[in-house]
A and B are shown apart, each in its own frame.
Chain A
Amino acid sequence: MTLRERLRQKISAAFYHHGLLCASYPVPIILFTSASILTCCYPLLRLPLPGTGPVEFTTAVRGYASPSHNPLGDPVERPDWYRGPPVAYIQQVLVKAAVSPWGSNLLPVDAFRPPLGQVFTLLEEIRNHVHSDSSGVQSLEHLCLQVTDLLPGLRRMQTVLPEHGCLLVSPGNYWQNQQELFDSDPDLLKTVQKHEPKGLHTSATLRDLLFGVPGKHTGVSHYSKKRVVTYTITIALSTYDAGFLGSLRARLKQLHPSANCSLGEEHMVHVHFKEEIGIAELIPLVTTYIILFAYIYFSTRKIDMVKSKWGLALAAVVTVLSSLLMSVGLCTLFGLTPTLNGGEIFPYLVVVIGLENVLVLTKSVVSTPVDLEVKLRIAQGLSNESWSIMKNMATELCIILIGYFTLVPAIQEFCLFAVVGLVSDFFLQMFFFTTVLSIDIRRMELADLNRRLPAEAGLPPPKPGPLRPREAPPPPRPSPHTITLQTPAFRNLRLPKRLRVVYFLARTRLAQRIIMVGTVIWIGILVYTDPAGLRTYLAAQPPHLGGMAPVFPGGDPAKALSVLPAREATPLPENQSQRHLAPGRVQEQPRGPPAATQVPWGAEDEEGWRRLSFRHWPSLFSYYNITLAKRYISILPVIPVTLHLGPQEAPETPRHPQDARLPPDPIPKFSSPDLQAADLTLYKVAALGLAAGVLLVLLLFCLYRVLCPRNYGQNGVSHGRRRRGDLPCDDYGYSPPVSEISPLLLRGHSMDIECLASDGMLLASCCLAGQIRVWDAQTGDCLTVIPNHNGCWEQRGASWDGAGGACDPESLGCEGRDPCVGGDSASEDEGGGFPFRRHAPPLRPPLFTDQPDLTPLIDTNFDSRLPPSSVHAAPPRGAAFDYGGLVERAYTEHEPPSPAAYPSPSYSSSPPTAGFANCRRSPVEAPDRGFACGPPPAAEWEGSVWAMELRGNLIAAGRSSGKLQLWDAVEGSLRCSNEEGASGITALAFLNNRIVAARLDGSLDFFTVELNKPPGLLQYRGAPGRGSMPPSPCYSSDDLISCQLTRSVLCAHQKPITVLRAAAGRVVTGSQDHTVRVYRLDDSCCLFTLQGHSGAITAIYIDETMVLASGGQDGAICLWDVLTGSRVSHVYGHRGDVTSLVCTNTCVISSGLDDLICIWDRSTGIKLYSIQQEVGCGDSLGVISDSLLVTGGQGCVSFWDLNFGDLLQTVYLGQTSDGQGVRQLLVLDNAAIVCDFGSELSLVYVPSVLEKLD
C-alpha cells in the first residue's frame, strides 16, 4: 500500500512538472511533437497507398514453374500471395508497323490501314502455330484460357469480345477477326470510336483492351506524326508451356524480325490484385464507421468550458489519428508489414485507443480554480488525473497483451498496432494535447479579460473638473462577483444551434473553402486521369529522364524528314507559308538516312502493359465473370514484331473508296500538329475545369452573400473571433471596444445619500445632511447645490424660531438669485405660507457652536461657496454618531414607523433622518451670529428630506415635517412650498403636473402644480446647454408656480404608507396594512383596494403598460390587473421581505431579504431561475433593457444577462471593497445607471445598450 501511495505521489509530481513544462513552452513543444509525428510517419511513405493497387513480383522466365500451393522453405523471398498457379498467363505480341518510306502519293489513312490489316495474318499465324516436341503436339487451342459467355450486362460487347473459346484479343476483334469486314469498313476510326464510352472514364476502355496499349500510343490517328502503328495481340493462357511459347516467339521473330529491338525476355511479372470492395463488404464497413463517428461525436461533445470546442475536438481527433499513423509507421519501420485491411481495422483501433483520456484531461484541467495561473491550472489538472490515466493505460495494455497471446496472427497484429498506438497516443496526449489545452485555456482567460461590457463608447470626452474625479477601475478581485466564468458553452446557448452552425460556416467560410479545395482536387484528378493527361505523360517520362533508350523526342530529324515530303505534297491552299520553308527542308532530306524509317523499340515497350490502367486486366477478366481479386496473373515477356510496309505495299492493301475523301490534314499549322492535337484535350479539360471552378466560386460567393448579409469580418480579426460568444449587442453590429467600464463618481455630498431622483436629463440627490445637489446626468457635472438652509439658519440662531415671516432679502439677495419672487408668490398663494422654513433640525449645532464663524463665508454667495459640509468635512462625520439620543427621541415623539416596515438597509436611514429632523426641539442654542437676516421665517421646523422627485426643472422634496417643497433644479431656488400636512411625507410621486404625497399617518395628499406665467415672459427659456428637454412639463424660472392641495385622502390606509408609485395615470400605494390601493391620478379617486398579501407591502412596481406587481413582507409577489383589480398571479418567492420589484416585458424580477434575485415569467408566474447573491448585497434592481439587469452589491454593481442569468460584469465603484452597499439604483434613459455609494453618486454608462435602444 505504501508502495502504491509512493508511486502515486511520484506519478502525480511528475505529471505536475510535466504540466508546468507544457504550459510554459507551448510552441517548442508543439513543434517538437509535430516533428516526431512526421518522423514516425515517414516510413509510411514506403507503404503502398491504401486501395486496390496491384502488387508485382518478378521471377525469371528461365526455369519457371508454376508455384506450388504450399511453399516449402523457399530460399527466395516471395510474397505470400505467390502460391498456386495464376489465373492466367498473359502473352502479348507487341506489333509495331510502319509504312516507310512514306510516299507522296499516300493518304493519311495509309499510315494505319495497312498496318492494322496485318493483324489478321498475324492472328492466323498465331492460331495455327503448332509446337511439337517429345511430349506431343501443342497448339494454342490447348493452352489458352477458354472463356465462356460474357456477363449478361455486356451484350453490346458480344461482337467485339471473344466468347466460347480462347481469350485472345487484338484490334482485329473490331472486325470480328475477318479481313473482309476490315476491308469493307469505310471508316476505321469510326469503328474504333464507336465502342468508346461517353464521358469521363478512368478504367480500361475497350480500345485499350483490344489494342493493348494506351490509346495515345497506338498511332491510329490521322494526325500521328510518327506514322508508326502500335498494337498488341493479347493471349491469355491457362497453362504455361515453355516450349510452345518459345517456338511461337521464335517463329514470329523469324517472320518479322525487329532489328533494333533489345527487349528483355528474361523476366515474367506476376501481378497480384487486391480484393475489390463490393457492396456487401461496404455495408458493415460503413456501419463501423458510422459507429465510430457517433462515438467521436458523443465523446467530443463532452468537451466543455473551453474557449474553442471545435479546436479541442479537432485536437483530440488529431491526437488519436496521428497516434495510429505513428503506430503503423513505427511497426513498418521495424519490419512489420501490415497485412490487415487498414480500412477495416481502423475504426476498431480508434475505439480501442479511445478519446477518454483526452476528455478526462480536459475536464480535470477545466475544473481547477479559475483564478490560478494557466500553468498551474494545467499542472494541477494533469496531476489530479495522473493516477487514473496511468491505471487505465496499464489496464488497457494488459488486456491487449492478453490478446497478443491468443496466437492468432490477425489478432496479434491488431494487438501490436494497438499497443504501439496506445503508447504513442499517450505520448501525444501528454505533449500535444496538453499543450493545445494550455493554449486554449490561456486564450479563454485572455478572452475573459477582453470580454467586458463595452465602456464609454457613448461617453463624452472627459472634462477636467474638481467635482468629477474619475476613479481608476480597481483590479479585478477574486470575489464571487468577479467570476466571469462565461464559458463558451454557456454563451453559445444564446444563439440557436442552427444559427450557430450558420455563423460558424460564415465565419470560417468553411463551405467556401471546402468547395474550392474540392474543385482544385477535382481539376487535379481530371488532369491526372484524363487519357491525354498528366498520368500518361508522367508514365512516359521515366525513359526520357533516364535517357536509357532511343526514344523519339519531338523533333527527331529522321521522323521530320520522313514526314516532310508528305506535308509538302498536301495540296493545301493554306500552306503558303509552309512552302517557303519547305525547300530548305527538302534539301536536308538527302543527308538523312534514305532507307526505311526505323521502327523504334524502347525500354518503355518492354513492359508496355504498365502504361495501361491498373484495372485493365481485372476488367478484361471481369467481362467473363472471372475475378482477379486476391489472385494474380503472370505476364510473360512480350514478343516484339516489327512490320515494315513499303510504300509500294501500302497501296496494295485495298483502300476503301471513302478513305480518299477523308480530310488529309485538318491542321494546317506547321509546328508540331500532333502535339497540339494531343494537348488539345488537356487544354479543353483544364479550361473546362477552370471555368467550372470559377463558376463554383462565384456561386458560392453569391450564396455566402445571400446567407450572410452582415459583414462579419469587417471589424477586424479580433472582433471576428469574438463574434460568436459575445454580448447580445454584438448581433446589432456593435463591436465593443476592449476596455472596462469605469464608473463616474459624483462627489460633493458630505453624508450618505438619502434620496435619488432623476428625470433622465437631470439627477437630483439628497444626502442625510439635507443638501440637495442637481447633476447633469450626461456629464456628471454638478449644476446646482441646494444647501440645507435649516442647518444654516439654525446655527444663526434659535431666536428665528419665533419670528415670522418675510423673505430675507439680504441673505438671499447676495446669491444673485431671486427666491423672493417665488417666496412672495407662494405667500400670496398660500396666504402666509412662507416657502422658507429654515427651522429644520440643527444637524450641526453641537458642532458649530464652538466653531469659528464661517457662516458669513458660507452664506454670502451660493454660487461660489462650497457646501458647508465639505468645508467641515470631517466633523460632521465624526459627529454623526452622536445622534443616537436624538433618534430615540424622534421615535418616541413621532410615532415612528414600526421597524419592520423598514427592514431593508435602504429604509434604515429614514428613521434617523426623521430623528435629525426633529432635532429642532433639542435645546441647542446657537448663538446669534448677528446676521441681519431680517425676520426669520415661519415657526415650523422644516425637517429633512424623506422623499424627493424630479420632473422637468422642478424638484419636489417631501420633508419629515410634512412640508412639500418645489425647487428649481437649475437655479437652486425654492419655487413654492406647501405645508398643509403635518405628518412626514414618506413617499412622493410626481407625474405630469400632479404630485402625490404619502404621509406617515397613512393619508395621501394630491397636489396640483400650477403654472402662472407672468405677463411678458411667455417665451420659453430652457436651461442653456441642454437641447432636448424631457417630455415632462418644464418649468421656467420665470413662471410662477403654485402647488395646491387638491385632495387629501385622510385615511388612505390604516397604517403608514410604505410605497407609492405612479404611472399610467394611476397612483398605487402600498401600506403596512397589507393592502394595495389604486387611485386615479386625475380625480384622486380610489379605484381598487387590492388585498392578497399577508404582510406589509414592501415593494410595488407599475409602469406605463399598466403592469402592477406588489411584494410584501410575507415574501409573496402578486401580479394584478390594474383595469379590473383582479389578482393575476400570486407566488411566494422569498424567505423574508420582497425588497424590490421590477418588470420587463416578459418577466418579473424580484429581490428579497434572503439575498436572492428571482426571475419569474410574467404571464405564467413560473419562476424561471434565481440568482443567489452575496449576503448583505443591496436590494436595488434596475432593468436597462429587456435582457440586461443591473443589481447593486457591496461597493459594486453587477450586470446580468436576463435571458440566461449569466453574470456579465461587475463594476466596482470605489477602490475599497468594504464600501457601502448600493441602496438605490436608478436607470436613466440614456442607458446609464446611477447609484448611491456612500456619500458619492456613481454614474455608470452602459453604452452598448444605447445601440440597442436605437
Chain B
Amino acid sequence: MSRTLTAMADSTPGGYGSEPGPRPAPGPYISAVTNRTTNLVIRGAMLFSVGVFLALVLNLLQVQRNVTLFPPDVISSIFSSAWWVPPCCGTASALIGLLYPCIDSRLGEPHRFKREWSSVMRCVAVFVGINHASAKVDFANNVQLSLTLAALSVGLWWSFDRSRSGFSLGVVIALLATLATQLLVYNGVFQYTSPDFLYIRSWLPCIFFAGVITMGNIGRQLALYEHKVALEKTHQD
C-alpha cells in the first residue's frame, strides 16, 4: 500500500500544470513514463500490487472471528487461502485496470466523472467497506445479504463511475468470474468454508462487480495521469 501511495503521490508532481514556471528538463522518470510500453508495464505492475494487497486484506476479513488471545499463527492465516488466489486477483485487477481506459479510448468517450485521486481513494474505501459489511454484519438471510450487497455495489458504481461502459463491463466480468469460481468449486479445486451454494452465488457477483468498478477507477486514474504527462511532453516539444 505504501508503495502504491508513494506512486500516487509521485504521479502528480506539483499539480500546477498551468502555472508558468521553469520546467525541468524531462528526466529519465518522465521519459520512461511517456514511453508507451514502459507505461503499460508500470501501470500493470501497480494495479497488480494493488490487487494482490486488496486480495490479502479482504481474505483476512473473511477469516473466522473467533481469534483467541494468543492466536497460534496469525501471519499464516493471512495466507491461509491457496497461494494462487492473490496472484489471480492481482492479474485480474491489472487486466481490468488496463482494460477500462482502453475501452474508454476505443469508445471515444473519455471518462470525465470525478477524475481525482481523492475520489479514487473514496471508492477504494467504500469497496473495502462493502467487503467488511459482507464479512462482519450478521444478515438475517442470504437474500437480504445479496440484495444489500447488490444495492451497495450499484451505489458504488453510481457514486464513482456512472459510465455505461463501466457498468456493462463490470456486470460481464462479474458474471464471468462467478462462473469461473463456480467451475473451480465444482471441480473441487477449492472450497469455501460454508459450502452454501446460494450463499456463494449471492455473495460473489456483487463483490466482483464492486471490485471491477474499483479497479477500473484506479486504472483510469493512472491512465489519465500518463495521458497528462504525454500531453505535457508534446507541449514541451
Binding site for B on A (CB under 8 A): 151, 153, 276, 278-281, 283-284, 287-288, 290-292, 294-295, 298-299, 301-302, 344, 347-348, 351-352, 354-355, 399, 402-403, 406-408, 410-411, 489-490, 493, 618, 622, 625, 627, 629, 1161, 1164, 1168-1171, 1203-1205
Contacts and interface: CB of A to CB of B under 8 A. Distances in A.
B218 to A, nearest CB: 12
B231 interface: no
B192 interface: no
A75 to B, nearest CB: 27
A622 B140 CA distance: 33
A153 B78 CA distance: 22
Given A280-B67, A625-B70, A1168-B22, A351 B116 contact: no
A627 B70 CA distance: 9
Given A302-B118, A1169-B22, A280 B63 contact: yes
A490 B69 contact: no
Contacts of B14: 493
B20 A351 contact: no
Contacts of B15: 301
A493 B129 contact: no
Contacts of A281: 67
B69 A629 contact: yes
Nearest to B75: A279
A402 B133 CA distance: 16
A279 B21 CA distance: 48
Contacts of B225: none
A283 B57 contact: yes
8 contacts: A153-B70, A279-B74, A280-B71, A287-B128, A290-B5, A347-B125, A402-B151, A1204-B20
Nearest to A351: B125
A1248 to B, nearest CB: 21
Contacts of B58: 284
A546 to B, nearest CB: 36
Contacts of B60: 280, 283-284
A627 B68 contact: yes
Closest 10 CB pairs of A and B: A1169-B20, A298-B118, A295-B121, A299-B118, A298-B117, A351-B125, A410-B137, A622-B69, A279-B74, A348-B129
Given A287-B57, A493-B14, A406 B118 contact: no
A287 B55 CA distance: 12
A537 to B, nearest CB: 30
Contacts of B202: none
Contacts of B120: 298
Given A399-B155, A408-B148, A618 B69 contact: yes
A278 B121 contact: no
Nearest to B68: A627
Given A298-B8, A299-B118, A411-B133, 6 more contacts: A279-B75, A283-B78, A287-B57, A294-B8, A344-B136, A410-B133
Contacts of A1205: 20-21
Contact of A290 (B1, B117, B132): B1
B69 A284 contact: no
Nearest to B140: A408
B117 A490 contact: no
Contact of A291 (B19, B128, B148): B128
B23 A1168 contact: yes
B92 interface: no
B126 interface: yes
Interface of B: 1, 5, 8, 14-16, 19-23, 25, 57-58, 60-61, 63, 66-71, 74-75, 77-78, 116-118, 120-122, 124-126, 128-129, 132-133, 136-140, 144, 147-148, 151, 155
B148 A1169 contact: no
A284 B65 CA distance: 13
Contacts of B66: 627
A625 B74 CA distance: 15
Nearest to B124: A291
Contact of B125 (A278, A295, A411, A618): A295
B21 A288 contact: no
Contacts of B151: 402-403, 406
Nearest to B19: A490
Given A294-B121, A1169-B22, A344 B132 contact: yes
Contact of A351 (B23, B68, B126): B126
A1051 B58 CA distance: 87
Contact of A411 (B8, B19, B68, B148): B148
B21 to A, nearest CB: 5
Given A278-B71, A283-B60, A629-B69, A302 B121 contact: no
A618 B69 CA distance: 9
Nearest to B133: A411
Given A280-B67, A291-B128, A407-B144, A493 B19 contact: yes
A1170 B20 CA distance: 8
Contacts of B5: 290, 294
A1204 B136 CA distance: 53
Contacts of A403: 151
Contacts of B136: 344, 410
Contacts of A354: 122
Contacts of A153: 70
Contacts of A407: 140, 144
A399 B153 CA distance: 12
Contact of A410 (B71, B74, B129, B138): B138
Contact of A1204 (B21, B69, B74): B21
Contact of A627 (B69, B78, B118): B69
Most chain B beta carbons < 10 A, residue from A279, A292, A1168, A1204: A279
Contacts of A1203: 21-22
Given A276-B69, A279-B74, A493 B21 contact: yes
A288 B67 contact: no
Given A283-B78, A490-B16, A288 B118 contact: no
A618 B70 CA distance: 12
Nearest to B23: A1168
Given A279-B74, A399-B155, A406-B144, A291 B22 contact: no
A406 B134 CA distance: 13
B65 to A, nearest CB: 8
Most chain A beta carbons < 10 A, residue from B15, B58, B124, B138: B124
Contact of B74 (A280, A291, A347): A280
A295 B122 contact: yes
Contacts of B20: 1168-1171, 1204-1205
B214 to A, nearest CB: 11
Given A278-B67, A278-B74, A490-B16, A298 B116 contact: yes
A195 B77 CA distance: 33
A355 B119 CA distance: 10
Nearest to A279: B74
Contacts of B122: 295, 351, 354
B26 to A, nearest CB: 11
Nearest to A490: B19
Contacts of A294: 5, 8, 117, 121
Given A291-B121, A294-B5, A1203-B22, A408 B144 contact: yes
A292 B125 contact: yes
A279 B67 CA distance: 9
B125 A280 contact: no
Most chain B beta carbons < 10 A, residue from A292, A294, A399: A294
A472 B117 CA distance: 50
A797 to B, nearest CB: 61
B125 A348 contact: yes
Given A344-B132, A348-B129, A407-B144, A280 B77 contact: yes
A1205 B20 CA distance: 7
Contact of B137 (A280, A298, A411, A1171): A411
Contacts of B70: 151, 153, 622, 625
Contacts of B144: 406-408
A355 B128 contact: no
Contacts of B23: 1168
